[in-house]
Amino acid sequence: MIRILANDGLAEDAVRMLESQGWTVDVGPVPAEALPERLKDYDVLIVRSATKVTGQLLRQNPHLKVVARAGVGLDNIDLGTARELGIRVINTPGASAPSVAELTLAHMMAIFRFLHLSMREMPEVRESSHFKALKKKYSKGREVSGKTLGLVGMGRIAQEVARRAVGLGMRVRYHDPMVEKVELALEQLGIRPVPIISLASEPLEKVLAESDVVSLHLPLTEETRHLIDLDRLRMMKKGAYLIQCARGGIVDEEALLKVLDEGHLAGAGLDVFEDEPHPRPILLAHPKISVTPHIGASTVEAQQRIGLDLARQLIALLSEA
């Protein structure tokens, strides 16, 4: 009988699907210090981003058949050690794409229209003069329609962002050396026949320099760590915006604060941080930054899709063994 530990939780429908195979599914969390010993009782470990699957943890449990990441990135799993030990690693790269795309656009809308600041200050309104002052203060918002969105990375999430951005009247361009050309069917627009737009990858510097909004959609690797550093931030248009809903560490946060304080960039939207789960307080309180606590894939719909996708993969994979 297969025993599964879903240490960071799993949708109920997915749990039932796995249990229908006669397997046991236990839902955590098990604390990090207790996990090495507890894992000895399991064949499969399912994690999200909270649990760190280190090389040491895997070497202490070489009997594991599968480590499954309920989400996109695999940077919290030591892939080299898993490969060495013959432990299969799977994830769900497409299941959360619509939710992350929507949050990306939500951050963009928030900083374009000062929603993050309005929601902080409106509860403090005590008199009409204060209300009028806020009305004047936040009456210089901008429309996204007609603006150019530059996507760095053009995987599933970025393509979902692109479709929605076109629907908002934005121009879209992208940089991705792994995706030379992409054709997007714009079914979200509800037009029949479905229109197709064709985009080709452009140099990173060109995308940064000519976009009103730059949104990042990359994995965190040694090559992408601090890819967006001070030099590249200064390549961006004066008054542009940066959206970061990918992985903490891709942006040099110290450099980001510098260009925001200098007035070179107008604002930023951050869902991920270098020092999770303890992001720097200065980022959280900065008036030019809209923040969320790494919730890109955290919607009811996304978690349902992720769980069922993962369950189907595990059933197919373990049925072969």
The mean pLDDT of 90-108, rounded to a whole number, is: 94
Report percent pLDDT > 90 for the chain.
80
Verify whether residue 116 is a known catalytic residue.
Answer: no
Task: Identify the pLDDT of residue 292.
Answer: 97
Three-state DSSP class for residue 185 = strand
Task: Identify the pLDDT of residue 191.
Answer: 56
Out of 48, 164, 286, 294, the active site residue is: 294
Residue whose C-alpha is closest to residue 41's, from 60, 14, 17:
60
Q: Read off the pLDDT of residues 173-209 as tens digits, 9 standing for 90 and up.
A: 999 999 999 988 876 555 556 678 889 999 999 999 9
Out of 156, 276, 280, 312, the active site residue is: 276
The mean pLDDT of 17-36, rounded to a whole number, is: 94
Q: Read off the pLDDT of residues 106-150 as tens digits, 9 standing for 90 and up.
A: 999 999 999 999 998 888 887 888 888 888 889 999 999 999 999
Other C-beta atoms lying within 10 Å of the C-beta of residue 299: 17
Mean pLDDT value across the chain: 93
Q: Specify whether the CB–CB gap between 168 and 144 falls below 8 A.
A: yes
Handedness of CA 225, 302, 181, 197 (dihedral sign): negative
Task: Identify the pLDDT of residue 321.
Answer: 59
Residue whose C-alpha is closest to residue 69's, from 247, 277, 321:
247
Strands of the sheet containing 44-47, edge to edge, are 24-27, 3-6, 44-47, 66-69, 88-91
Verify whether residue 294 is a known catalytic residue.
Answer: yes
Report percent pLDDT > 70 for the chain.
97
Distance separating alpha carbons of residues 132 and 130, to the nearest angstrom: 5
Q: Read off the pLDDT of residues 239-269 as tens digits, 9 standing for 90 and up.
A: 999 999 999 999 999 999 999 999 999 999 9
Residue whose C-alpha is closest to residue 181's, from 198, 163, 204:
198
Q: What is the dihedral of CA 264, 262, 140, 102, to 10 degrees?
A: 60
Verify whether residue 102 is a known catalytic residue.
Answer: no
Show the domains of the chain with their CATH numbers: 3-95+300-320 (3.40.50.720), 97-291 (3.40.50.720)
Other C-beta atoms lying within 10 Å of the C-beta of residue 226: 15
Distance separating alpha carbons of residues 176 and 88, to the nearest angstrom: 28
Question: N- to C-terminal Cα distance for the chain?
Answer: 12
Rg (CA), the chain: 22
Task: Identify the pLDDT of residue 210.
Answer: 97
Task: Identify the pLDDT of residue 72.
Answer: 81
The mean pLDDT of 208-236, rounded to a whole number, is: 96
Q: How confident is the model at residue 291 (pLDDT cuts 50, 70, 90)?
A: very high
* Of 104-113, 115-124, 154-163, 214-223, the least confident: 115-124
Out of 247, 253, 274, 305, the active site residue is: 247
Instruction: Dig out the tokens for 226 from the structure.
Output: 């601090």
Q: Is 127 exposed, middle or buried (0-12, 13-18, 19+ CB in 10 A)?
A: exposed
Q: Specify whether the CB–CB gap between 95 and 300 falls below 8 A.
A: no
Task: Identify the pLDDT of residue 21.
Answer: 94
- Higher per-residue pLDDT: 123 or 47: 47
